[in-house]
Structure 1
């Protein structure tokens, strides 16, 4: 990935020298930042770690981020984009208690973020009102502003992006036969959690369980009234499900049970509405969701005021 990033920088430099830019690099943005933090505890304070996509967790950090992003061109019928983002540097270690079954004693397991990690790597394409993408990409909340709120309850800005594939509408699109007063937005994503190593390294391995190799299915749909009017209302639903994987259960430091939850191709379709005949709740995987409501009023001077509410539910309560 470092080689790929350097090739991009070289291509931009060459294009500037010769006065022409290849089509694949038009609109390319290069971004870099360096950050240093210090704290008195082991973890970064809540207000510093929140809504940071999982990039800042330890108290003391000196980290560098660098990336390249080519956004899609929304005014074109067919467009594509891509992005890559790397983080690296020094972060202080955090101690996690861990039980050693061989000595029947507890010890301190100190862990720190890696010296270098890939935060984003994705490609995307747009055709008319539809989009598709693959890879790890920061996806913002469809209902709240991550910079001006506590964050979305389902699509959290506290987590690193999950590798996967996704498809949906390019923003909000007019609903036919409504004369523009109603718009729709929707998305479907299949991904695989990439935190197996983190759970293995940070768990106490005493009581409780560790889940690994799980898949995620995310889907949403939102309806919005005409945004050109003084009052706009958005109403919709989000669902995120976990399926498959292996769960290891621990009791007093010993492995009590290992549950292998295999998955078939049909499960990825079945999980979209995971209610089995005769069951009172969802029996395939675990599903978390919200009903979303947002209202935006435009006031004098071009300012706007928004308020939102999310009703969270899990499994059959939805």
Structure 2
């Protein structure tokens, strides 16, 4: 399979034909959302939080904007069947493309089971984090443009029969394809490589132990694994043309290997494709109108980290999320500490090269970078945590992450002084070391902040407006200051 084409009209037609086979509807709703946003900044780049965690509908350019229009149709059917179809389009200025199909999907659900086809902004899965306050997931979150896919999922925890509501589980499995072939070819400069026709796979399984109706404590744990695989590895020539460097495996067996990572025949390499994942843990405590949530995302980029052979707790993200009782000052506060600096260490050997017929080197994991798929990115934005800045910031036309060894502290605060007013504050301090193979000349630092106020007038139904101030300071990518104004209108058509 040299190319997996995403055909929006056919996908929506198939979804509609499937829907028509179900029993007569019991109720339906058709809604719309129109949004426009403009960013004006001063500096080399826009402030980080103007770009990050906006599902790729943003830009690191100092001046940018978009006009976005979304329509969504939901229908409840008999016997607990449901359907949902949506299209979300945007025209942009100073972004990676002038026209964006941000979302285009059709979902068919029965009880807690859901089949989703298309491109969709998928929120907080599998380890739920506060999307407005968190710095984001390490594996896949809200930073990059949605990846079109076929996805089977249990989106909410369902109780395992016979456990008296004490044990529940959820999970998903998905296959899809990246859509940024043309952008990567144009962005990449001579002597650098890029992946073409790259496919995508993701799966997760999470368990929850606890029954908060009887005991106000819950424990969650599980695994998320994702991969970019297949396609072609290309290299840019001096004249701007591209040559094929490697025709990567893309048959049916590659889909199986993406699901169950198997070591390559080359003993130095790990597995086919670019596999990343995380072990996820969370502890929830409910105290009257308070909620305390502590979570840990242990990131891995190969088998050694996955099975905790090296650097067991050195890399990952620890978070504390507190929901307060209703008040006029602070409704939620969040702290996250993250490290990706160790990466199994500088170099570790099992055996000695040349003395044994087989040996393993387990170190220098080089997070988010890969020799086959190039890097863990989509349209220049990192698919994982945005504090590891994506290739969109590279001025040399490389698609590699230039600094994947970082340590960070992040704080998020949100409040609702009245029913019409909301604010949030994001504060992030990050230290950068570059990569093991290309370290920075010195440890570099970056402080990024966002101050946002949203007004939703009760007298004008469906309207809201947000004003944001972003300030970045430090010696990594320079200083920047800017503002964003966003207007929204949403409502029901039918």
TM-score of the superposition, structure 2-length normalised? 0.52
Please list every run of 5 or more consecutive structure 1 residues that lacks an aligned counterpart in the other structure: 5-21, 92-111
Report what 2:195 is aligned to.
211
28-37 or 246-255, which moves further after superposition? 246-255
Aligned counterpart in structure 1 of residue 38 of structure 2, from 36, 39, 42: 36
Report what 1:295 is aligned to.
283
Aligned counterpart in structure 2 of residue 136 of structure 1, from 115, 119, 127: 119
Q: Which has the higher contact order (CA 8 A, sep 6+)?
A: 2
Query: Residues 277, 152 of structure 1: CA spacing in aligned structure 2 closer, same or farther, 3 A cutoff?
Result: closer
1:245-278: CA deviation from partner (whole Å, max 9, x where unpaired): 1112458789786101131113212321112498
CA offset at residue 151 of structure 1? 0.5
CA offset at residue 285 of structure 1? 1.6
SS at match of 1:177: coil
2:200–2:228: 8 Å Cα contact kept in structure 1? yes
Aligned length: 276
Aligned counterpart in structure 2 of residue 270 of structure 1, from 220, 233, 257: 257
Report what 1:121 is aligned to.
104
2:235–2:245: 8 Å Cα contact kept in structure 1? yes
- Correspondence 1:160-179 to 2 at 5 A: 160-179=145-164
- Alignment of 1:156 with 2:159, yes or no, is no
Report what 2:53 is aligned to.
51
Q: CA RMSD in A?
A: 2.7
SS at match of 1:156: coil
Alpha-carbon distance between aligned partners in 2 of 1:227 and 1:68, rounded to the nearest angstrom = 38
2:264–2:272: 8 Å Cα contact kept in structure 1? no
1:281–1:315: 8 Å Cα contact kept in structure 2? no
CA offset at residue 153 of structure 1? 1.0
Alpha-carbon distance between aligned partners in 2 of 1:275 and 1:115, rounded to the nearest angstrom = 40
Alpha-carbon distance between aligned partners in 2 of 1:161 and 1:188, rounded to the nearest angstrom = 16
TM-score of the superposition, structure 1-length normalised? 0.79
Report what 1:109 is aligned to.
none
Report what 2:83 is aligned to.
80
SS at match of 2:43: coil
CA offset at residue 304 of structure 1? 1.2
SS at match of 2:55: coil
Query: Residues 252, 89 of structure 1: CA spacing in aligned structure 2 closer, same or farther, 3 A cutoff?
Result: closer
Kindly indicate which of the two structures has a greater share of residues assigned to helix.
1
Aligned counterpart in structure 1 of residue 272 of structure 2, from 261, 264, 284: 284
Aligned counterpart in structure 2 of residue 26 of structure 1, from 15, 18, 28: 28
1:192-242: CA deviation from partner (whole Å, max 9, x where unpaired): 011111111111223x31111111110000001235241211101100011
Aligned counterpart in structure 1 of residue 234 of structure 2, from 239, 242, 248: 248
| Divergent runs of 4+, >4 A | 22-25, 71-76, 250-257, 276-281
183-192 or 77-86, which moves further after superposition? 77-86
2:107–2:114: 8 Å Cα contact kept in structure 1? yes
- Correspondence 1:168-247 to 2 at 5 A: 168-206=153-191, 208-226=192-210, 228=212, 229-247=215-233
- Alignment of 1:70 with 2:73, yes or no, is yes
Report what 1:15 is aligned to.
none
Please list every run of 5 or more consecutive structure 2 residues that lacks an aligned counterpart in the other structure: 1-8, 10-23, 307-494
1:186–1:219: 8 Å Cα contact kept in structure 2? yes
Report what 1:103 is aligned to.
none
Alpha-carbon distance between aligned partners in 2 of 1:198 and 1:296, rounded to the nearest angstrom = 42
